[in-house]
């Protein structure tokens, strides 16, 4: 059996086909997995576990059914769903993971990350990340009425899209929003692994690199905006594939 990894699904009511694709994946292939790891950005936005969205309810139901079938479901926060809390995780049958986390993957130590902390050249984002991960900021935000939190999420999304447009116009989009090689090398060195799996950049690929004389692999998971992306790992190796909606 394979261990499955996904990230950057960005599930949203505006794209019901992708939510249905994920549901079919959970009810189908995932039922035969050793485990499922969701490495962040399961939702396009998450403003608190009290959000009554139909998408959130559907996903919780399907994930809980998968977990009840005996497949462990692990979740790591991303930059869009960092406010997903223990209440929703329990409802969905998910085990929360720290970012980063090292696991034993079929006898090989693997480092799991969402990937945003590797994009150290994006200074503005790293500042925003530091602010929004502060417990005091989160407590203050979650204390606001749901309508105010949803409005904030819409404004943040619009600001993000505008900034991406500015970076494209300046010709710096590819470099600023991708991982920094120095940060990647530091992650390999700091955790003593030769395999790193992450998402965030929406640039699916398997990269081979040398870190201080060690042959290492960095696997980047793809997004689910127009299709699915899943990494399958078993005793025979790794396969990074797309799933069609």
- Domain parsing of the chain, residue ranges: 3-243
Identify the bridge partners of residue 102 per DSSP, sorted by sequence position. Answer: 111
The CA distance from 84 to 66, in Å, is 19
Q: Say which CATH architecture domain 3-243 belongs to.
A: 4-Layer Sandwich (3.60)
pLDDT string in tens for the chain (245-residue length): 899 999 999 999 999 999 999 999 999 999 999 999 999 999 999 999 999 999 999 999 999 999 999 999 999 999 999 999 999 999 999 999 999 999 999 999 999 999 999 999 999 899 999 999 999 999 999 999 999 999 999 988 888 787 777 767 666 656 668 999 999 999 999 999 999 999 999 999 999 999 999 999 999 999 999 999 999 999 999 999 999 87
Whether residue 210 contacts residue 216, with contact meaning beta carbons closer than 8 Å, is answered with: yes
Q: What is the 3-class SS of 68-109, one letter each residue?
A: HCCCCEEEECCCCCCCCCHHHHHHHCEEEECCCEEEEECCEE
Reduced to 3 states (helix: H, G, I; strand: E, B; else coil), residue 150 is helix
């Amino acid at each position: 059996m394979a261990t499955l990894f996904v990230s950057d699904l960005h599930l949203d009511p505006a794209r019901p086909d992708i939510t249905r694709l994920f549901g079919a994946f959970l009810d189908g292939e995932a039922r035969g997995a050793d485990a499922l790891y969701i490495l962040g950005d399961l939702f396009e936005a998450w403003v608190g576990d009290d959000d009554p969205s139909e998408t959130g309810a559907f996903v919780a139901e399907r994930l809980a059914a998968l977990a009840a079938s005996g497949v462990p479901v692990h979740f790591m926060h991303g930059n869009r769903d960092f406010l997903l809390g223990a209440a929703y995780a329990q409802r969905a049958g998910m085990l929360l993971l720290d970012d980063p986390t090292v696991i034993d993957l079929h006898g090989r130590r693997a480092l799991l990350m969402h990937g945003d902390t590797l994009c150290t050249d994006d200074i503005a984002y790293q500042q925003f990340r530091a602010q929004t991960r502060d417990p005091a900021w989160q407590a203050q935000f979650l204390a606001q009425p749901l309508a105010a939190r949803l409005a904030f999420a819409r404004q943040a999304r619009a600001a993000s899209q505008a900034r991406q447009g500015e970076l494209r116009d300046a010709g710096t989009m590819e470099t600023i929003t991708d991982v920094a090689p120095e940060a990647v090398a530091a992650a390999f060195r700091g955790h003593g692994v030769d395999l790193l799996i992450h998402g965030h950049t929406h640039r699916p690929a398997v990269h081979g690199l040398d870190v201080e004389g060690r042959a290492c692999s960095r696997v980047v998971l793809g997004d689910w905006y127009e299709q699915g992306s899943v990494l399958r790992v078993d005793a025979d190796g790794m396969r990074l594939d797309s799933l069609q909606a």
